[in-house]
Amino acid sequence: MAAFGPEPSDPDAIRVRILDNGYGIEGIIDMKAITGALVAGLTLATGAASASAEGLYIGGEFGYGGNSDQTVDSGTVIGGFVGTHFGNHGRIEAELAYRQNDLAVNGIPVSGEVTSLALMGNAFYDFGDGSGFTPYLGIGMGFASVTLDSAFYNTDDTGSAFAVQAMAGAAIPFTESLSLTIEGRVFGTVGPSLEDNFGNEAVVTGYYTYAAMLGLRKSF
C-alpha cells in the first residue's frame, strides 16, 4: 500500500483511507469541531421542538468544492430541502443532496470519482429578526449512500455511511417570501466498507468535502 499525507498528531483525528489491489490514498480528518457542532445542534433542535412553528419553507441549492487533504479533487453538490421556522431564531429541515467529486493522489487527478446521495436532518440558528440580511449557523446528521467508481483503484462499489455536516451562511431577501442563500459547508461520513472488482475489501473510513453553496429559499 502506498500512503499519502501526515500521520495524525491529534488523538481525535480520523484517518481516511481507500485501499484496493495494492494501491491506496490516505488523509487525515479532524472531527473534533464537527462533533462539538453536532452536540450543540442537538441542543438547539430539542429547544426548537418546544416552540411554536411560524411557517414552512422549501428550497434548492448548488455548490462547488473539494477536499483540503488532496485525496478528493474538485466536484459539485446539488440538493433540495423542506423545513420550518421555530420561535424567532430556530429552523429545522430535511435535506436530500447529491455530491460528485473526482479522485486525486497528493493533489494529482486520477481516473474515477466518488459520489454520494445523502438524506440529512439539519438544525439552524438565525441571527437577527429575519427581516433583512440574516446570518446563520447550522449542523446536520443523517445517512449517505457512497459510491467509489475508479479504474485506477479497480473499484466500483456502493455502501451506506453515517454522515454529519456543518454550515455557516447568510440569507439575503428578494421579497418577503423569497431569499438567496450564500453558504460554506463541510460534509463528512464515517465509512462505508466497500469491495474492489476482485472481491478484495476496499476500506473507506471517511468521505470528506467542503463546498461554497448558493441557494434559493421560498417561505410560506
Domains defined along the chain, listed by start: 13-219 (2.40.160.20)
Residue 63 CA to residue 7 CA, distance in Å, equals 30
pTM of the model: 0.72
Residue 7, pLDDT above cutoff 80: no
Q: What is the pLDDT of residues 172-202, one digit of tens each?
A: 999 989 999 999 999 999 877 777 777 777 6
**Residue 162 contacts residue 187 (beta carbons within 8 Å):** no
Q: What is the pLDDT of residues 30-85, one digit of tens each?
A: 555 555 555 555 554 444 433 334 589 999 999 998 776 556 778 899 999 999 99
Residue 185 CA to residue 25 CA, distance in Å, equals 23
- Matching residue, cell 481516511: 16
Q: What's the whole-number average pLDDT of the chain? A: 77
Using CA atoms, how far residue 200 sits from 27, 79, 150, 193, 213, in Å, is: 21, 33, 14, 11, 37
Question: pLDDT value at position 73?
Answer: 74
Question: pLDDT value at position 49?
Answer: 39
Question: pLDDT value at position 148?
Answer: 85
